[in-house]
Structure 1
Amino acid sequence: MTQLTPEQARTQLDAHLGEIIEWHFNPETGCSFWLDWAKKNFDPRKEINTFADMVKFPHFQDEWLRDLQNEVWVPKKYQGRPFNVFETGGTTGMPKQRIGWDDYKVDYREFSEKLPDEHFPKGKNWLMVGPTGPRRLRLAVEHLANVRGSSCYFVDLDPRWVKKVISNKQFEQARAYMDHVVDQAVTILKHRKISALFTTPKLLEALGEKINLWDAGIRGVFCGGTTMAPQYVRFIVEEVLEGRIGFYPTYGNTLMGLAASVPLRPEDNFSITYYAPQPRAVLRIVDPSDTTKVKNYGEWGRVELTTLTREFFMPRFLERDEAIRREPRAPYAWDGVAEVRPFGAMEKNIVEGVY
């Protein structure tokens, strides 16, 4: 990976943005949703010259991904080609859906280049313990394993059910379901040679209570999907993984792809920072009371996501997350987001389930 300067990264982003704007708003290539939007609002091909101009767009509404038929998002160049349908978490009602073709492969192929063979040896088997079904993650993790010459086993999880029973205060049922999932994973680890694990922090902790992960052959762990405060990260690294197993937290979702973390240094004090796969996706930490303004480094703010691929254009979507804005850090020449947690987590109780 060639190390860019922040100025080079901005130039790269602006050039990529120009290509994506032209693609999605050109009548010969764009999808019906954005072409119709431009007729009612403005032509971004004339108004958007740099990423700083993106504040001219209103925030992308998640209801569009719930209420509209997915065909409105198909670029003309992709018409006639069957699409994958990926869903976000969802608890009740219609979940948000994103269609796609190859984006998930590109995202995870790039991520593979950041993984050391020491912790993710090529040609060894992987295990994913987490939501499969309509989630993008299932295909993405298997593709990532395959790129590294590995095969992947799966233990399924229904996070919607877990959130539902916890919301109904049926804690015993939630615990029983979690035990059911963990028991299946332990069985695989005992009977198959597995070297890498992809799961959530709470399931990782529960697995560590049932089996010694190092002795089971695990050398690298991907973890994501929930709040990981520094003290909890310390517990995972030092107690669950015994300081021997590689720990690679990720921050990703159906709409963004995958933001990788940088390796923890002593001075980080177990605070995890993630970097978006720019220029394909851009994260900003914005002031919740004025989302045109970016917070200062070291300050908390709401996470705003812009996705920029030929398959999917999503400007200024406000995630249900908040995070600390962090400076660029090699090999990334753009801002990072740290200590991601649900938006408003300090003001209200939020159900995260096994995430």
Structure 2
Amino acid sequence: MSAETLEGTASPEAIRQAKEELDAHVREIVAWHFSPETGCPFWLNKAQELGWDPRSEIHSYEDLSKFPLFEDEWLRGGPLQRWMPKGLEGKPVYVFETGGTTGIPKSRINFDDFRTDYSIFADNLPDEHFPKGANWLMLGPSGPRRLRLAIEHLAQHRGGICFCIDLDPRWVVKLIKKGWMEHLEAYKEHCIDQALTVLSANHNVQCMFTTPKLLESLALKLEEKGSSIREAGIKGIFSGGTEFTPQWNRFAHEELLDGAYMTPTYGNTLMGLAASAPSGPHNDYKISYYAPQPRAVTEVVSFDDPHQKVGFGETGRVKLTTLTKEFFMPGFLERDEGEREPPFEKYPWDGVSGVRPYSKLSGGTTVGVY
């Protein structure tokens, strides 16, 4: 799909201005992380290994390619203190994990990033579908994941209270690997029962975060009871994950939502939250995600050269860069692939659509466990 078929194509001036803001932000973040007064031990040590001072060498986003690609293994294991910027010393620290179904999970420290990321997202939600003051249901993974606290903050930011269920995706993965499908079904029922209990308890829950599989299960269970998502009081949903395809998006709107509003998202512990351009019948339910620049940047790069962007509409691997004072992560190759999308009026920088597990890795990866 060309840029012209997207509502509100970004103007050249908006694209130029966003690029200038990104370059200025890059310089600020690099100066912070590589200053002995404010930086963290990991990056201060890495600069010594590199043999050059990023503060004098990095002037733009493109200059970040001078760093080696960020390695997955750097985030596995401790001590976590090596990631703590001296400039944030003394602030309460959170640790969030990603993965961990086998081996040591990746860990990322947080101070306020999860609140900032979700405040930005919350401020862009349409009030008519996500009423301010309404309560929320968090129907997704709990435990050491960022998502639970982040959704809770989002609800609070919009003046509501968040009700959470208890879901351990690591147990779900083990059930799948063992082939214990009866146990898997029972565990899913257990999670949906928790959600139904919250929805039946007169808590004024009108908004919800959930995943595609859990939304489908909840809608079908409500249907069995003669109700629906909308009749249960839900007006607005945001959902995300690799299972969120255009085909599923259409199915959800036609069969599951009963008129409730839904917005897709793409996010993770390392990046934050990417919003979607409007999706619906007007563009055949296509989903295009735009990272929260300048705090994070996504690129779609060649499978053969991670420093080379593919053309608009072409397929490549998703490369992520995170740029906050809490966490600096240049050039991390995600476990996802997709198509490069042109800048959008509201988000005048590159996007990515068709996000799915990277084909060369997906064979050994259990996805869609929620």
* Range of TM-score over shorter length: over 0.9
Question: Which residue is equivalent to 1:40?
Answer: 49
Distance 1:255 1:349 in 2: 21
Distance 2:360 2:240 in 1: 17
C-alpha displacement at 1:351, in angstroms? 2.1
Q: Deviations over 1:68-96 (max 9, x none)?
A: 31100111112233310111132112110
Q: Pick one of 217, 220, 229 that aligns with 1:213.
A: 229
C-alpha displacement at 1:353, in angstroms? 4.2
Q: Deviations over 1:181-237 (max 9, x none)?
A: 011111211223210111100000000001111111100011112322211110011
Question: Which residue is equivalent to 2:250?
Answer: 234
Question: Which residue is equivalent to 1:330?
Answer: 345
Q: Pick one of 150, 166, 190 that aligns with 2:160.
A: 150
Distance 2:362 2:206 in 1: 40
Question: Which residue is equivalent to 1:181?
Answer: 191
Tell me, what secondary structure is at the counterpart of 1:177?
Answer: helix
C-alpha displacement at 1:333, in angstroms? 0.3
C-alpha displacement at 1:347, in angstroms? 7.0
Q: Does 1:13 align with 2:22?
A: yes
Distance 2:141 2:122 in 1: 21
Question: Which residue is equivalent to 2:81?
Answer: 71
Query: Which amino acid in structure 2 is aligned with residue 185 of structure 1?
Result: A
What are the ranges of 5 or more consecutive residues in structure 1 without an aligned counterpart? none
Query: Which amino acid in structure 2 is aligned with residue 19 of structure 1?
Result: E
Question: Which residue is equivalent to 2:206?
Answer: 195
Tell me, what secondary structure is at the counterpart of 2:308?
Answer: strand
Q: Deviations over 1:142-185 (max 9, x none)?
A: 11111110101001211111112112222221111111101111
- Contact 1:284–1:305 (CA under 8 A) maintained in structure 2: yes
CA 1:198–1:337: 2 relative to 1, 3 Å:
same
TM-score for the superposition, normalised by structure 2: 0.92
Question: Which residue is equivalent to 1:52?
Answer: 62
- Contact 2:241–2:368 (CA under 8 A) maintained in structure 1: no
Q: Does 1:166 align with 2:176?
A: yes
Question: Which residue is equivalent to 2:301?
Answer: 286
Q: Does 1:134 align with 2:144?
A: yes
Distance 2:172 2:140 in 1: 12
- Contact 2:34–2:54 (CA under 8 A) maintained in structure 1: yes
- Contact 1:159–1:353 (CA under 8 A) maintained in structure 2: no
Distance 2:114 2:184 in 1: 31
Tell me, what secondary structure is at the counterpart of 1:191?
Answer: coil
Question: Which residue is equivalent to 1:340?
Answer: 355
Distance 2:245 2:23 in 1: 34
Distance 2:189 2:102 in 1: 24
Tell me, what secondary structure is at the counterpart of 2:266?
Answer: strand
Distance 2:82 2:30 in 1: 17
Aligned residues: 353
Q: Pick one of 310, 320, 325 that aligns with 1:295.
A: 310
Distance 2:25 2:361 in 1: 37
C-alpha displacement at 1:12, in angstroms? 0.3
- Contact 2:243–2:368 (CA under 8 A) maintained in structure 1: no
Q: Pick one of 250, 255, 270 that aligns with 2:265.
A: 250
Distance 2:88 2:247 in 1: 46
Tell me, what secondary structure is at the counterpart of 2:322?
Answer: strand
- Contact 1:200–1:226 (CA under 8 A) maintained in structure 2: no
Distance 1:55 1:160 in 2: 35
RMSD between aligned residues: 1.7
Distance 1:170 1:351 in 2: 15
Tell me, what secondary structure is at the counterpart of 2:165?
Answer: strand
Tell me, what secondary structure is at the counterpart of 2:242?
Answer: coil
Q: Does 1:352 align with 2:367?
A: yes
- Contact 2:212–2:239 (CA under 8 A) maintained in structure 1: yes
Name the stretch that deviates more: 11-20 or 42-51: 42-51
Distance 2:61 2:217 in 1: 43
Question: Which residue is equivalent to 2:125?
Answer: 115
C-alpha displacement at 1:301, in angstroms? 0.9
Question: Which residue is equivalent to 1:321?
Answer: 336
Tell me, what secondary structure is at the counterpart of 1:222?
Answer: strand
TM-score for the superposition, normalised by structure 1: 0.96
- Contact 2:303–2:317 (CA under 8 A) maintained in structure 1: yes
Question: Which residue is equivalent to 2:292?
Answer: 277
Q: Deviations over 1:8-58 (max 9, x none)?
A: 000000000000000000111111110111011021112211111111111
Percent of matched pairs sharing the same residue: 54
Tell me, what secondary structure is at the counterpart of 1:116?
Answer: coil
